[in-house]
Amino acid sequence: MSRLRLAILISGRGTNMERLLQAAADETYPARACLVLSNRANAAGLDTARAYGVEALAIPHKDFEDRERFEHAMDAALREHGIEILALAGFMRVLTPWFVRQWEGRMINIHPSLLPKYPGLDTHKRAIEAGDAEAGCSVHWVSESVDAGDVIAQARVPVKAGDTPEELADRVLVEEHVLYPHALAQACEQIQKKPSS
């Protein structure tokens, strides 16, 4: 089975991206990293990607008049690179239904909560304030509603007494780094099993 051509979308430091690049460096992994895209020119993850020998491009959303034009530029770059699967890794722009439809069934995201709990922002603060005993992270297919697509895999951590949102985020992030490469491999296998149209 040939490896799927992978692009990773980031907005910032890119620690999850780095774990995916490490996994995809193994020739037996079902995806090969071909492109990293950031909507911020100063995202630290761009340099990390280049250090792994992966092409990294900034397409700053601020350079475009509106969301649609920005997304058309991203879509064009992804198609030029023959991308077959898209992994969002700390990509902090909400995507329009148009973009989601272009990549439906080929786009996954990591979110720092046990979905369906806490879609959106401030997930760790919300878990602490709700008195949850457990928190965690989810990898899911991207659908038109934010953080609402089918879940591929989750990992759980305890919420400890007195946790700050930052402490909980650090504990969850350790699990994100383990979860995402496994979940991406599962997603690739699901795509490869689909009959080609």
Q: Name which of 16 and 102 has its Cβ closer to ligand GAR.
A: 16
Task: Decide: is 30 part of the binding site for ligand GAR (CB under 6 A).
Answer: no
Q: By beta-carbon distance, which residue lies closest to ligand GAR?
A: 90
Regarding 173 and contact with ligand GAR (CB under 6 A), the answer is: yes
- Mask for 125-144, x = binds ligand GAR (CB under 6 A): ------------x-------
User: In this structure, how many other beta carbons lie within 10 angstroms of the beta carbon of residue 47?
Assistant: 11
Is 111 part of the annotated catalytic residue set? yes
Provide the minimum distance between the beta carbon of 25 and ligand GAR in the complex, in angstroms, as a whole number: 17
Residue 148 binds ligand GAR, judged by CB under 6 A:
no
CA distance 117 to 41: 32
Does residue 176 touch ligand GAR according to CB under 6 A? yes
**Of 34 and 179, CB closest to ligand GAR:** 179
CB of 124 to ligand GAR, least distance (A): 9
Residues 89-118, interacting with ligand GAR (CB under 6 A): 89-90, 110-112
Handedness of CA 7, 189, 97, 45 (dihedral sign): negative
CB of 165 to ligand GAR, least distance (A): 12
Residue 156 burial (CB count, 10 A) = 12
Supply 150's token pair: 């089918």
Four-residue CA torsion sign, 43, 180, 3, 107 = negative
Q: Where are the alpha helices (DSSP H) in 30-164?
A: 44-51, 67-80, 97-103, 123-129
Other residues' Cβ atoms within 10 Å of the Cβ of residue 63: 12
How many angstroms separate the CA atoms of 24 and 31, rounded? 6
Confirm or reject binding of residue 149 to ligand GAR (CB under 6 A).
Answer: no
Q: Cβ 68 to ligand GAR, closest distance in Å?
A: 21
Q: Which of 72, 81, 111, 124 is catalytic?
A: 111
Q: What dihedral angle (degrees, nearest 10) is formed by the CA atoms of 100, 103, 105, 111? A: -60
**Catalytic site positions:** 111
- Which residues of the shown chain bind ligand GAR in the complex (CB under 6 A)? 10, 12-17, 89-90, 110-112, 137, 173, 176
